[in-house]
Amino acid sequence: MHLHRLEKIWLSIGVSMLVIFLIVIGTMAFSMGMTPPSEHHHTIDPTKVTETAPFDKPAMTQIEDMHYEAVLVAYAFGYDPQTLEVPVGSTVDFKVTSSDVVHGFEIVGTNVNMMIEPGEVSHVSHTFDKPGEYLILCNEYCGTGHEFMKTTIVVK
């Protein structure tokens, strides 16, 4: 196969750009310590969720003034606890895990949205500035009763 001189030039430019790109990405990823965030990453045994603290007693607890921690367990077609209540202006730190399959955790009307995997403990915080009833839905298909999987947060 015979390549024209201009084709050889463009091929060498393309290959050179690819090599430079891979070198830059490799340098950033390995030598500069770029890794995925893992600030709150931890796991538990998904078969022992009901025996592992704090998931053995899922509830909303007050940490300090206007700051709460909500521990929830997602299971087939529901969340435990069923209803949570906080005052307006409160910040809630959510700790959520699943005991069976992959579930979703979306608070309708907010930017809170995460995937709940069995054994993975997922964390997110949100400040509720407006009163009302916030619906938490599963947005990952988890089986035939998926459409019934919900809980609520009442902000007074």
The answer to the question of residue 131 being in a domain is yes
The answer to the question of residue 41 being in a domain is no
Q: Residue 1 sits in which domain range? A: 1-35
The answer to the question of residue 3 being in a domain is yes
What is the predicted pLDDT for the residue at 147? 86
Residue ranges of alpha helices (H) inside the chain are: 5-26
Instruction: Convert the pLDDT of each residue in 29-66 to its tens digit.
Output: 777 665 655 555 688 888 888 888 888 889 899 999 99
> Exposed, middle or buried: residue 42 (CB in 10 Å: 0-12, 13-18, 19+)?
exposed
Identify the residue whose tokens are 């607890």.
Answer: 61
What is the predicted pLDDT for the residue at 34? 58
Residue 131 has pLDDT above 90, yes or no: yes
CA 41 vs CA 44, 119, 129: distances in Å: 11, 11, 28
Same domain membership, residue 51 and residue 16 = no
What is the predicted pLDDT for the residue at 6? 92
Same domain membership, residue 142 and residue 65 = yes
Same domain membership, residue 19 and residue 51 = no
